[in-house]
Structure 1
């Protein structure tokens, strides 16, 4: 193998490692909960626990060296999690607890899902919506 072929092979391996590291980071971010090595392996496309562990530990170290509000931690049971650093939690906690729907619309949608099809005139006295028709929902 020539020197240029060896360099090319090393570059390809480095690119693959960087890509898998980015996939692992994205998976931890989206999951919002601890993930085990098997799940992380599925995300990165590798079956080697040793490789996944190396990727995860590299990500842990990368986040330790970054000046960011996020951290990646290794938990017991060879699980990894991306989370907010404790010093930022109190400042932004109220943002995470705000539901996408308030209780009223959520109850209405639950009622419709459970009782469908339902006439609007039956739903109206329960929810007081802005419409009054005999259409089905």
Structure 2
């Protein structure tokens, strides 16, 4: 009877751990999981994690339990991720947008005008995207907007991640954001250059085709002229 009770408790822990990993959408430590699993011993939580990992591997599931720096997360296998990643709105976020979010989280409340002055006009685009995703508020403030993070950000990142964001050096965030903006601007300029080159190639191709057409007409005209001259000579000989 005691053994059956222990088995039931172990299964409950495993189910709670799996449910926590499924719904969190972020990495959880053994300590985090233990709190959700009735403050279970770390050893039992570790055992549950190992069994969950084995279960997914055994089923050849598109889901895999990954570990990074002692924290665990249920992830989609890379071969399936491209097909479904748009269903998770934060996974397709560009690094520049994520860095903007980090900056707002670090400096809030901060005006949009101040960020534009620091980083340029692209900040407008990033902030609008973050607002659409429900991660920041852009409240009217005089002639600009006052930026703050929303409760959704706390749900998305979790308390520990938010704390980590605030511990990051502000200078590093600024450098990263400027670097990402520079990358995007360089990529856009290169795209414009490539488009111009493509147009030039098309023009050159059109000109080449036109020259071929002119040459074809010249040859045809020369052939007609030669035939006409032959007919004239033939009549003269008659």
Match of 2:3 among 6, 10, 23: 10
Match of 1:90 in 2: 82
Q: How many residues align?
A: 102
Normalising by structure 1, we get a TM-score of: 0.63
Match of 1:45 among 38, 43, 54: 38
Instruction: Determine if contact 1:41/1:48 at 8 Å carries over to the other structure.
Output: yes
Residue segments in structure 1 that go unaligned for 5+ positions in a row: 1-7, 116-137
Structure 1 residue 32: Cα displacement: 0.5
Match of 1:32 in 2: 25
Residue segments in structure 2 that go unaligned for 5+ positions in a row: 91-127, 141-238
Normalising by structure 2, we get a TM-score of: 0.38
Instruction: Determine if contact 1:36/1:80 at 8 Å carries over to the other structure.
Output: yes
Max Rg structure? 2
Instruction: Determine if contact 2:53/2:64 at 8 Å carries over to the other structure.
Output: yes
Alignment RMSD, CA only? 2.8
Structure 1 residue 47: Cα displacement: 4.3
Match of 1:3 in 2: none
Instruction: Determine if contact 1:46/1:52 at 8 Å carries over to the other structure.
Output: no
Structure 1 residue 75: Cα displacement: 2.2
Of structures 1 and 2, the one scoring higher in RCO (CA 8 A, sep 6+) is 1
Cα deviation 1:42-101 (Å, max 9, x = unaligned): 01113422121111111111111113221112222x211111111110111222238xxx
